[in-house]
Structure 1
Amino acid sequence: MAESLSQDEVLEAVARHIGRPGQGPRLRRTGADITRLPMLDLRVVRSVETRTTRAETRPGRYDISGLPTFEGKLRDHPVEPPRNPARSGRLELVLSGSARTVDCGCDEGRQPCARCRARGTLDCDIGPSCPVCKGVEPCTWCDGTGERRKDRATSGPAGEKGPSGRTTCLKCRRARTACPQCRGRGTEQCRRCEDTGFRVCPVCAGERSTKHAPCDGTGLITRWTAGSVGHAPERSTTRLPDPAPPLRVRQQAGRTGAWQRATLTRAGEPLPDALDPAHVKAVASALESRPGEVARQVDIGWLPLVSVAMTDDPDHVFYVFPGSGGLEVLPVWSRRRSLRAAAVVAAVVVLLLLVAALV
């Protein structure tokens, strides 16, 4: 197809587009700069394979009879490549003869409770401060310790009448010395342990042991050597020329251009004969085999594209490419005209700012 875009055909297509049919040769004489910019759209999807082995364990008698097996080294086991390289997949296998069920080594499926350290109980925090004495003077005799205070003089022998409203202390048993609310404790009674100082462990419920997690309480473990063969797609894209033509040209060529396309599915498969010579090296480099590649799909699209800049029309560049009905011509502004338009816009903006400042 590239050979079909001769200079004469390109110039005649431009001449027809500007309303001067038959004057293609005249455009050449007046000065026409023709640049070939063949377009390439190369998309590659490779399926890359990875193989790993690992030790696996499951609690109890675990059934792995439904998994396929492999012998010897996993790298030597034949696995069919995926039919669609764009799809991910994983095959799980078992090394032949590696599966066995063994005793866990625990105490018949139980293990000491880690929360209470096999005591069955937990220390309980004391309750909140007494709302009456605030824990400051729960007992005038022992201060809630159960023993006589040594830093103050006592109010008299046991049984002697003490301060009004006081009651017998639960700690030292002294009459009429304790706060009537907490009775010498200095705190409210703990509702969880009723002031015993310990409570039942919520993890083991006082049993001092819990189910052994690795064997799920069965006392047995199934072990085997597992193998995994994974397939993951890796995608790459190459688009030429570089730098790319203007966006408008790329969009129009993508919609109406008569692209030639080919699909390759094997490494080393010959490239299409019609591929533009300017692209052969780039395509060959992009299609080199990658480590672990087991399958591929290569979609190649190419389209001849020519730009024409004419001396007698410096404001436009004409892009020519084959379409479904013949050669299509798409004019775009030249760099010179784009810069001039940008300068005009900038001048208008400056003028508007000056007017706004004066108003």
Structure 2
Amino acid sequence: MRFGYGANHGLGKGPQPKQGRLMLSETDVLQAVRQHIAERGEAPKMGQPTSGEITWHSLLEGTIVRCIETRTENKQLHRGRIDLSDRPRYDRLEQYPLAPPKNPAAALTLELVQRGSVNEDPCPCGNGKVACSRCQGRGDLSCASTTTCSDCRGIDACLRCDGTGHRTHKAPEEARQVAEERVTCKKCGAFEAACSTCRGRGHVTCSTCRGRGVRECPDCDGEGTEPHKRCGGTGLTVAWTEGIISRQPRTEEIKWPESGLPYVARQHARQDGDWRKTSLTHKDSVPDGLEAEFKALLKPRLKPRDGEIARKADLQYLPLARVVVPEHRHRVYYVYPGQSKLRVFILPSSQRTWQIAGAVLGVLAVLYLLSRLLS
């Protein structure tokens, strides 16, 4: 299995020159592992691998920004006059010409008016006023001329007559006099027996109507009329058919593969790898010079979405090999192209990871037992 990897990273349109292309093969990968072991001085102790199990990963990262357009029509009703002269006219909304955006990330909302749909109508109310719905045009509301006393609540307005004017109770003994101040009752004349607020009546004059029995309507401020809801008090309405063209960007983050590759290995490849980069718009086809793996990953992701009118994809690609050699079962080697040579990154195998974890847990258990014994 062989993978081509180009040295030209700023891809344009059309075929790419093949001169200077680096062909990444299984032989290249194993040789890079051997060289890495030698550079670390581990060859005499560990030996050099003669074969290995190689798994290929195609790393793809970047963003795809799509401009999605929707066109909708709505019936509009405006209360009062409105100037629509600055809005574009159309006959059929789906046929209104609008060039694709140069920047797919820019949002746009365009309000249009269907030609011949504007209709200005005088309102049946005449002047924008109708009779107040609360007072029925009278301008006032009936109101109780008195209200219950807030202090005595009409219950103990007078200790002698209970607010009736007829004394039915004896005067309380001095020791049983109530603490609050009492005044002479206006009903029965009893001394120091009545509530100081209502003076024995049990009610007071209404503060709103001042005892007149009617009060001003709060909804219309006594005028007897209110603005007509349909025309908003303007006396006319304007109706038209509105067309809306909305363009909104949708950004898709690309990260492939989504799983199956250790985070640390991917980070090393992201920082030190010699990524193959390309930038494509909706007008561009997939360049012929890209590797087959890159093309296979790109094509389904560049498929137009519903309502898509523009697109820009900024992507980068890197082949990466996962290598396990029989001589070093405790290691996993990751090999990928660097700026000047193949880069090698080592991680412990899953078996070695569990061994290390077990050893750490064993040490922690011993330390715990020692601390218990010493305490």
- TM-score range normalised by the length of the shorter chain: 0.7 to 0.9
1:121-163 Cα deviation digits (max 9, x unpaired): 345575452536844556999967xxx99xx99xxxxxxxxxx
- Residue number in structure 2 paired with 1:196: 212
Residue 237 (structure 1) aligned with residue 253 (structure 2):
yes
Which of residues 285, 289, 295 is equivalent to 1:270?
Answer: 285
Q: Equivalents in 2 of 1:209, 1:116: separation in Å?
A: 9
- Residue number in structure 1 paired with 2:65: 45
Q: CA deviation at 1:33?
A: 1.8
Q: Which letter maps to 2:259?
A: P
The answer to whether the 8 A contact 1:117-1:208 is kept is: yes
The answer to whether the 8 A contact 1:38-1:304 is kept is: yes
1:244-283 map, 5 Å: 244-266=260-282, 269-283=284-298
Q: Which letter maps to 2:366?
A: L
Determine helix, strand or coil for the equivalent of 2:68.
strand
1:274-313 Cα deviation digits (max 9, x unpaired): 4443454443222222221111112231111112222222
Q: Equivalents in 2 of 1:128, 1:257: separation in Å?
A: 87
Please say which of residues 309-318 and 90-99 is displaced more in the overlay.
309-318
Q: Equivalents in 2 of 1:132, 1:243: separation in Å?
A: 78
- After superposition, the Cα gap between the structure-2 partners of 1:17 and 1:97, relative to the gap in structure 1 and judged at 3 Å, is same
Which of residues 74, 96, 116 is equivalent to 2:93?
Answer: 74
Which of residues 53, 62, 66 is equivalent to 1:33?
Answer: 53
1:301-327 Cα deviation digits (max 9, x unpaired): 111111222222222211111111221
Q: Equivalents in 1 of 2:109, 2:150: separation in Å?
A: 65
Q: CA deviation at 1:17?
A: 1.6
Q: CA deviation at 1:220?
A: 1.3
Q: Equivalents in 2 of 1:129, 1:348: separation in Å?
A: 83
% identical aligned pairs: 33
Q: Which letter maps to 2:84?
A: I
Where in structure 1 are there 5+ consecutive unaligned residues? 154-163, 169-174
Q: CA deviation at 1:272?
A: 2.8
Residue 109 (structure 1) aligned with residue 128 (structure 2):
yes
Determine helix, strand or coil for the equivalent of 1:18.
helix
- Residue number in structure 2 paired with 1:17: 36
- After superposition, the Cα gap between the structure-2 partners of 1:138 and 1:199, relative to the gap in structure 1 and judged at 3 Å, is farther
Q: CA deviation at 1:18?
A: 1.6
- Residue number in structure 1 paired with 2:17: none
Pairwise CA RMSD: 3.3
Q: Which letter maps to 1:14?
A: V
Please say which of residues 92-101 and 117-126 is displaced more in the overlay.
117-126
Determine helix, strand or coil for the equivalent of 1:65.
coil
1:5-48 Cα deviation digits (max 9, x unpaired): 12222222222222269x9xx8452x322221121125322111
Residue 344 (structure 1) aligned with residue 359 (structure 2):
yes
Q: Equivalents in 2 of 1:15, 1:133: separation in Å?
A: 101
- Residue number in structure 1 paired with 2:231: 215
Normalised by the length of structure 2, the TM-score is 0.77
The answer to whether the 8 A contact 2:49-2:327 is kept is: no
The answer to whether the 8 A contact 1:308-1:318 is kept is: yes
The size of the alignment, in residue pairs, is 332
Which of residues 91, 100, 125 is equivalent to 2:110?
Answer: 91
Q: Equivalents in 1 of 2:129, 2:59: separation in Å?
A: 71
